[in-house]
């Protein structure tokens, strides 16, 4: 495997002002500022007074031959920093690679080189390839404040990027970090645009296609606004935060991995942008395409199957909208040399029964073991997606993929491959037959008799998060009924698990305001649009 490191890790460089003569003593401030470098100075610091720094301004920090840019916060509390100290947030401190107390110098930071391009985008102008390359380079190097990042994200969302701009943004994001080369002609991956709780098909697709002999190194993200990401759920079964060298060994030995992608430094500018997109609930088509495809290309994928679910409470709510998004994905993928197949799937309700890491891990293992009680919708969707990936194999005839995937699953070969991955990554000893769920629980029951005609993906996800997921892995929602089920008045619709009384009460209040379920007749069940 080859790693293209021609693009260096994000280290700031600028023509900074002359450094202060008296170095400050570095202190690690135990605050997670989520992808933003933040520095802390005491108000009585001699350097702060002499240099005329302003709160929220950008400063350059130098120590041990390294330098980073950080947003300055000023405090009067000596418990955070003493007057002779410079405090750094967790991420910022770790980037310098020094011990507490190491001397550091600070200076005013020059504005990012790409500021003029940013201002033009804010004004609604169309930007060039060079403009996006400069902006993304400065984002990856942490030269933008959260305010500037937010302005860029909102500007791109307000004035929809044309397809050329989306390609420029994607290409720039790939170039901002590592690009892996597995020295294989066929490297496959599967991705979903998100928004559907319980949709843990990746944990089934990966062992199936790997058992077929295809290379599928799956580096996944953690949840930011959902009750669980693939990495959160896999972490119930095995370690997911592994050194990159170990990941490469696992992929070489087992044709696959299921790990957190943060250690690989792939499209780092995307991680920074996500830190402001998600709190604002901004997920514009252009930014979504750039985010997904840049990560896949940087990870060395040659073939991708992309899942776009459609439903009343999914991210995409109509077939025309799905087709527009498909065409944009296909255009950019073609420009960057990625073979892409888009499948449009049923997004009317959560997939499987469990929503939350432990509950979703239970569902996945039930499917792999061919347990009769396994959720069939999760099984069928995973088989169809795996089948599409298997058909990327030039030796497989079109239309045969589903049957091959089903045989691999039914024979136990997919389970054996997953068990091998779990052992290689570091097993957590998870017992899915008796999963350790939150010791506090309550049930949400049907107020009247009727047929389940609607399940709100967003509300179910919200209840699961309020119960503690994904941080509390044993928390979440266990669905007892799905669309089309007939229920009696007072019959439980789902069960909520939590580990802390406050979480339980938050989830209870949310479910009392809106259970997320609607009851009616068969004619009220929304039509499904599927293009498998």
As a whole-number percent, the residues of the chain with pLDDT over 70 amount to 95
Distance, in Å, from the CA atom of 274 to the CA atom of 98, rounded to the nearest integer, reads 28
Give residue 20's pLDDT.
Answer: 42
Q: Name the band, by pLDDT with cuts 50, 70 and 90, for residue 14.
A: very low
Give residue 531's pLDDT.
Answer: 66
Secondary structure in 3-state letters for 423-463: HHHCECCCCCCCCCCCCEEEEEECCCCEEEEEECHHHHHHH
Any idea what the Cα angle at residue 382 is, between residues 379 and 384, rounded to 5°?
110
Q: Which residue has the tokens 């990870």?
A: 299
Query: Could you list the active site residues?
Result: 283
Distance, in Å, from the CA atom of 5 to the CA atom of 458, rounded to the nearest integer, reads 40
Mean pLDDT lowest for which of 277-286, 367-376, 508-517?
Answer: 277-286
Give residue 461's pLDDT.
Answer: 97
> Token pair of 273, please?
């942008």
Give yes or no for residue 281 having a pLDDT over 80.
Answer: no
Distance, in Å, from the CA atom of 140 to the CA atom of 11, rounded to the nearest integer, reads 8
262: which DSSP letter?
A: G
Q: Which residue has the tokens 């559907």?
A: 196
Mean pLDDT lowest for which of 1-15, 44-58, 59-73, 289-303?
Answer: 1-15
What is the overall mean pLDDT for the chain?
Answer: 92
């Amino acid at each position: 495997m080859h790693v293209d490191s021609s693009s260096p890790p994000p280290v700031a460089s600028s023509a900074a002002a002359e450094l202060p003569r008296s170095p400050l003593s570095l202190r690690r401030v135990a605050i997670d500022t989520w992808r933003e470098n933040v520095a802390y100075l005491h108000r009585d610091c001699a350097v702060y007074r002499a240099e005329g720094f302003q709160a929220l301004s950008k400063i350059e920090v130098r120590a041990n031959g390294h330098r980073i840019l950080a947003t300055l916060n000023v405090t009067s509390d000596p418990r955070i920093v003493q007057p002779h100290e410079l405090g750094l947030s967790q991420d910022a401190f770790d980037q310098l690679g020094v011990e507490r107390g190491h001397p550091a110098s600070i200076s005013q930071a020059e504005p990012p080189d790409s500021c003029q391009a940013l201002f033009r985008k804010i004004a609604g102008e169309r930007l060039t390839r060079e403009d996006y390359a400069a902006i993304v380079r400065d984002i990856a190097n942490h030269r933008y404040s959260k305010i500037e990042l937010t302005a860029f994200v909102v500007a791109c969302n307000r004035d929809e990027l044309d397809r050329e701009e989306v390609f420029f943004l994607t290409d720039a994001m790939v170039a901002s970090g590592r690009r892996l080369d597995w020295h294989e002609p066929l490297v496959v991956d599967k991705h979903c645009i998100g928004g559907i709780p319980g949709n843990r098909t990746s944990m089934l697709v990966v062992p199936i296609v790997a058992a077929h002999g295809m290379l599928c190194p799956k580096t996944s993200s953690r949840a930011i606004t959902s009750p669980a990401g693939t990495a959160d759920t896999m972490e119930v079964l095995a370690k997911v935060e592994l050194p990159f060298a170990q990941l490469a060994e696992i992929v070489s030995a087992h044709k696959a991995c299921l790990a957190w992608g943060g250690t690989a430094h792939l499209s780092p500018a995307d991680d920074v942008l996500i830190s402001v997109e998600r709190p604002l609930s901004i997920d514009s088509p252009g930014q979504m395409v750039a985010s997904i495809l840049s990560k896949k290309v940087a990870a060395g994928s040659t073939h991708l199957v992309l899942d776009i679910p459609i439903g009343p409470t999914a991210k995409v709510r109509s077939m025309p909208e799905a087709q527009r998004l498909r065409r944009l994905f296909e255009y950019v993928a073609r420009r960057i040399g990625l073979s892409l197949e888009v499948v449009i799937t049923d997004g009317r309700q959560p997939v499987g029964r469990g929503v939350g890491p432990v509950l979703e891990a239970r569902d996945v293992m039930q499917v792999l073991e061919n347990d009769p009680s396994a959720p069939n919708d999760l099984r069928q969707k995973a088989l169809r997606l795996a089948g599409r990936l298997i058909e990327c194999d030039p030796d497989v005839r079109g239309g045969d993929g589903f049957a091959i995937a089903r045989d691999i699953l039914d024979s136990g070969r997919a389970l054996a491959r997953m068990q091998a991955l779990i052992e290689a990554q570091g097993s957590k000893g998870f017992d899915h037959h008796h999963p350790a769920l939150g010791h506090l629980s309550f049930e949400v029951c049907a107020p009247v008799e009727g047929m389940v005609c609607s399940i709100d993906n967003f509300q179910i996800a919200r209840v699961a998060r309020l119960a503690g997921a994904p941080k509390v892995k044993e928390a979440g929602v266990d669905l007892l009924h799905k669309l089309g089920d007939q229920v009696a008045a007072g019959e439980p619709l789902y069960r909520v698990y939590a580990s802390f009384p406050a979480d339980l009460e938050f989830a209870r209040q949310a479910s009392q305001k809106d259970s997320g379920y609607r009851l009616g007749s068969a004619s009220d069940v929304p039509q499904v649009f599927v293009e498998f």
